[in-house]
Amino acid sequence: MTAINRLNLTDFRSHAALSIDASINAGPGLVVITGDNGAGKTNILDAISLLAPGRGLRGAPLSDAARQDGPGGWSVAAHLISTEGEVQIGTGTAAAAPERRLVRVNGAAATVTALSDWLALVWLTPAMDRLFSESSGSRRRFLDRLVLALHPGHGQRVNRYEAAMRERTRLLTADGPADPVWLAGLEADMAEHGAAIADARADVVAALAAELGGAPDGPFARPLIALTGNDTDDLAARLARGRARDTAAARALEGPHRADLVVTHAAKAMPAASCSTGEQKALLIAIVLAHAALVAQRSGRPPILLLDEIAAHLDAGRRAALYERLTAMGVQAWMTGTDPALFADLAGGSPSTCWLTLAAGRVMPA
């Protein structure tokens, strides 16, 4: 198991300087942070999310993370413990280059992708409660975060595919005829990276479907999941044939960037988008828990879960079931909420729960 033992934020969003000791005598486990709205709870989870490749749970420009009245740069550092030993990792930006990501591992400069060697993260935020009712792009980004935990090179392939796609669109929509040789090269790049993207997504969706299929119906319901629009066969040729159409649309109309994660409530045979808000959240939680179990099976190192305002829209029975599952799985989960009473089912008892309160920019034991 991998867990964050200590966390330090400097000039990160609302926090000028914040240190959190999440160590627990019984070993790493659940971390519950409660506090008023606007206290900065989500900012703590956002900081942790940036200890993995990507733009974090907010998906915002790196410069946005800098404290408004601060010097311009920011940093997040964590001390990790695992069965493989201990490591210090950190990331941030300098004021002179607010969009240039800096990474250090045990004090030495490292690449952003190197963070995947130490930490896998998956998060749920209130903004994701209606994921199944939003655009397919939102579901693809959610799926790609799940894929990244099992295929560390996935994010880089997505970036390369999208860069080639943007350049192809620029050429197609520019004044004057585009160089067909250049277009063919970009389409070949899209086909190469697209095939790897599609294969990784298909692998994770199939494995998750099997994991979910073996679980009984319970408080979170059982989702059926499938992937559509993931065909990349003969993609380069299809793109070449579709140049006129894509020029008129000013975008590529075929490729893995059109894929979608389709989720159905199994017991009701109902599309997730048609379910209640509480049911949608329960389905989403079921997927995330199955994913954590899958990552643990494949790597022996389950992801750290960041669960922002996780109790919202969950009834008491589902809250209790969630806490029981998290405790039994042995994952580290950072959970936030405004009311400690929402975590009452944990309060009696779990020695592997760290209780913290955030107020006036300070974190104190609850």
Q: Which of 218-222, 302-306, 313-317 has the lowest mean pLDDT?
A: 218-222
Q: What does the pLDDT average to over 169-193?
A: 95
Q: Are residues 277 and 309 in the same domain?
A: no
Looking at 299, 325, 352, the residue that finishes a domain is 299
What's the predicted TM-score (pTM) here?
A: 0.89
Structure tokens at 238: 């299809």
On whether residue 283 sits in a domain, the answer given is yes
pLDDT of residue 300: 81
- What are the tens digits of pLDDT across the range 125-149? 998 988 999 999 999 999 999 999 8
Amino acid at 51: L
The DSSP bridge pattern shows strands 74-82 and 85-94 to be antiparallel
pLDDT greater than 50 at residue 26: no
On whether residue 125 sits in a domain, the answer given is no
Q: Phi/psi of residue 348, each to 5°?
A: -75, -10
pLDDT greater than 60 at residue 163: yes
On whether residue 271 sits in a domain, the answer given is yes
CATH value at residue 24: 3.40.50.300
- % of the chain at pLDDT higher than 90: 69
pLDDT of residue 62: 95
Amino acid at 34: T
Q: Are residues 105 and 151 in the same domain?
A: no
Q: Are residues 104 and 27 in the same domain?
A: yes
Q: Are residues 348 and 241 in the same domain?
A: no
Looking at 267, 282, 299, the residue that finishes a domain is 299
pLDDT of residue 349: 54
Q: Are residues 135 and 247 in the same domain?
A: yes
Where helices occur in 214-276 by DSSP H, the ranges are: 235-241, 243-249
**Residues 326, 331, 337, 343: is their CA dihedral positive or negative?**
positive
pLDDT greater than 80 at residue 177: yes
Q: Are residues 92 and 149 in the same domain?
A: no
Tell me the pLDDT band of 344, cut-offs 50, 70 and 90. confident
Q: Are residues 177 and 250 in the same domain?
A: yes
Tell me the pLDDT band of 197, cut-offs 50, 70 and 90. very high
Domain count, the chain: 2
Tell me the pLDDT band of 312, cut-offs 50, 70 and 90. confident
Q: Are residues 81 and 196 in the same domain?
A: no
On whether residue 290 sits in a domain, the answer given is yes
Q: Are residues 293 and 311 in the same domain?
A: no
Q: Are residues 188 and 45 in the same domain?
A: no
pLDDT greater than 90 at residue 119: no
Strand order in the sheet with 270-271: 223-228, 260-265, 270-271
Domain assignment of residue 229, given as a range: 131-299
Nearest to 198 by CA among 166, 154, 165: 154
Q: Are residues 295 and 307 in the same domain?
A: no
pLDDT greater than 90 at residue 195: yes
For the residues of 198-217, what is the DSSP string, one character each? Answer: HHHHHHHHHHHHHHHHTSPP
Q: Are residues 142 and 286 in the same domain?
A: yes
Q: Distance between CA 173 and CA 167 in Å, rounded?
A: 10
